Amino acid sequence: MHADGFEYHRAGTVEEAVDLLGSIPDAEPLAGAHGLLPRMKTDEESPPALVDISRIERLSGIERDGGSLTVGALATHADIAESTAVREHAPALAEAAGAVGDLQVRAGGTIGGNLAHGDPRVDPAAAVLALKAKTTLRGPDGERTLAASELFEGEFETAVGADEIVTALEVPTDGAGTSAYHKRRNPLSGYAAVGVAGYLRCDEGAIEEARVGVTAVGPHPIRLRGVEAELEGASAEAATAAAAADRVGESLPASGVRSDPYASAEFRSHLLSVDTEDLLGGLLGDA
């Protein structure tokens, strides 16, 4: 439908937003409008009502507190990319946010919308998986948290309920690990053709903890468990990267690898191996 219009509501508080979402059938939150509006224009989504949460002050801001970073759902990609705290304690997230779209998209799009939408190609998602970040949600029954691995469920499907909003992202920063994100840009869309984020914590020349999150590869962002298994316990040297990247194949989504006019599933898997090895090689070089 090309509705002549849709209902528009602006929520002043989180409570109000949750109430509106609960009372108006099929209403959807609107934050930076850089995910939803493009799809409304092409008829891929047509919510009858929007609840604008972009003015809820409590949802913005980035804070470091003890062992974690709290990133407000309304923090824009630009806010995150430029934050000294994020750059220092969660470089993969800062790099992923900095790789989103262009200046205009980064200034408008928010982390909450980026994660809640479930677009299978978004950059920050890979970092969120690698960093084991948690999302905080608020719904009619109060607050709950979702682990990164529980958030993404399918193409444009997330575990965020219809009457829930994401309020924040919690990124653990206690470990002495390093992280990074690598984006291979699809020249057609500017989105990732393949995006890989890695987190490594090494001790005395051995890899103690390893996580690799990838985006644009399956129906939703995933972790490469086989690669992680190869890394954990292995020696922290560049050669390990190649051995780990060899196990990309077994970690791929069961439902198949994405295929689009830019890259077939086969080629995309190849690129993923190349980029995984490069990224891990870089991290191990620094470790």
Q: Which two tokens stand for residue 116?
A: 């809640």
261 binds, among ligand FAD, another protein, none (CB under 5 to 8 A by kind): another protein
122 binds, among another protein, ligand FAD, none (CB under 5 to 8 A by kind): ligand FAD
- Indicate whether 103 belongs to the interface with another protein (CB under 8 A): no
Question: Per DSSP, what are the bridge partners of residue 195?
Answer: 183, 215
According to CB under 8 A, which one of 50, 64, 134, 191 is a site residue for another protein?
A: 191
- Indicate whether 75 belongs to the interface with ligand FAD (CB under 6 A): no
Across the beta sheet with 192-203, the strand order is: 178-185, 192-203, 206-215, 222-223
- Indicate whether 39 belongs to the interface with another protein (CB under 8 A): no
Do the beta carbons of residue 215 and residue 284 sit within 8 Å? Answer: no
- Indicate whether 7 belongs to the interface with another protein (CB under 8 A): no
Distance CA 121, CA 190 (A): 10
Do the beta carbons of residue 207 and residue 235 sit within 8 Å? Answer: yes
- Indicate whether 188 belongs to the interface with another protein (CB under 8 A): yes
How would you label 20-48 residue by residue, b for 16+ Cβ within 10 Å and e otherwise? bbeebeebbbbbbbbbbeeebeeeeeebe
Which residue, among 52, 51, 48, has the nearest Cα to 20 in the 3D structure? 51
165 binds, among another protein, ligand FAD, none (CB under 5 to 8 A by kind): ligand FAD
42 binds, among another protein, ligand FAD, none (CB under 5 to 8 A by kind): another protein
Nearer to another protein, 25 or 261 (CB): 261
According to CB under 8 A, which one of 66, 142, 187, 205 is a site residue for another protein?
A: 187
Q: Pick the stretch among 5-13, 83-91, 97-105, 169-177 that binds ligand FAD (CB under 6 A).
A: 97-105
Distance CA 71, CA 64 (A): 9
The gap from C-alpha 204 to its chain's centroid, in whole angstroms, comes to 31
- Indicate whether 156 belongs to the interface with another protein (CB under 8 A): no
- Indicate whether 114 belongs to the interface with ligand FAD (CB under 6 A): yes
Interface pattern 237-266 for another protein (x via CB under 8 A)? -----------------------xxxxx-x
219 binds, among another protein, ligand FAD, none (CB under 5 to 8 A by kind): none
Bridge pairing between strands 49-52 and 7-10? parallel
Distance CA 198, CA 204 (A): 19
100 binds, among ligand FAD, another protein, none (CB under 5 to 8 A by kind): ligand FAD
CB of 129 to another protein, least distance (A): 23
* Phi, psi values for residue 44, rounded to 5°: -75, -25
The residues binding ligand FAD (CB under 6 A) are 28-36, 38, 53, 73, 100-101, 105, 109-110, 112-114, 116-117, 119, 122-124, 160, 165-166, 190-191
